[in-house]
């Protein structure tokens, strides 16, 4: 949480997390974690944030990423620039609808991550 703030708008949270995520990406955290995972697998990513982790996961893997924050999703989609290995789906992963569950089931994830 941002110091002195009791609640954040979705926009503010997306920007706060983008700054945190960019810092982690600049220190190769996502790259290093992604390299621990086997390639040629289907990965379910819980929370794409601004897409830094998703970009690394897509290297040799298909990724279905779930997030609830539309501002974060928009940032991630822009950064992924049409990467065909990634599908970002907006949903509340704490309250999955039937259609969300069906999408995940049809994707048949082999690995689940949440960076």
Domains of the chain (ranges; CATH) run 10-113 (3.40.50.150)
Tens-digit pLDDT profile for residues 35-79: 999 999 999 999 999 999 999 999 999 999 999 999 999 999 999
**Per this entry, what is the length of the chain?**
115
- DSSP type of residue 68: S
Q: Which residues pair with 63 in a beta bridge?
A: 43, 86
pTM value? Answer: 0.90
pLDDT digits (tens, 9 = 90+) for 1-31: 455 556 899 999 999 999 999 999 999 999 9
- 115: Cβ contacts below 8 Å, ≥ 6 apart: 29, 30, 33, 45, 47, 49, 53
């Amino acid at each position: 949480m941002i110091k002195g703030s009791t609640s954040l708008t979705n926009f503010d949270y997306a920007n706060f997390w983008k700054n945190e995520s960019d810092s982690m990406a600049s220190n190769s955290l996502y790259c290093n974690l992604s390299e621990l995972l086997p390639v040629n697998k289907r990965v379910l990513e819980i929370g794409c944030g601004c897409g830094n982790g998703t970009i690394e996961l897509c290297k040799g893997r298909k990724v279905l990423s779930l997030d609830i924050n539309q501002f974060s999703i928009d940032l991630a989609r822009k950064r992924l620039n049409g990467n065909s290995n990634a599908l970002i789906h907006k949903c509340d992963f704490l309250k999955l609808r039937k259609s969300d569950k069906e999408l995940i089931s049809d994707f048949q994830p082999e690995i689940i991550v949440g960076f």
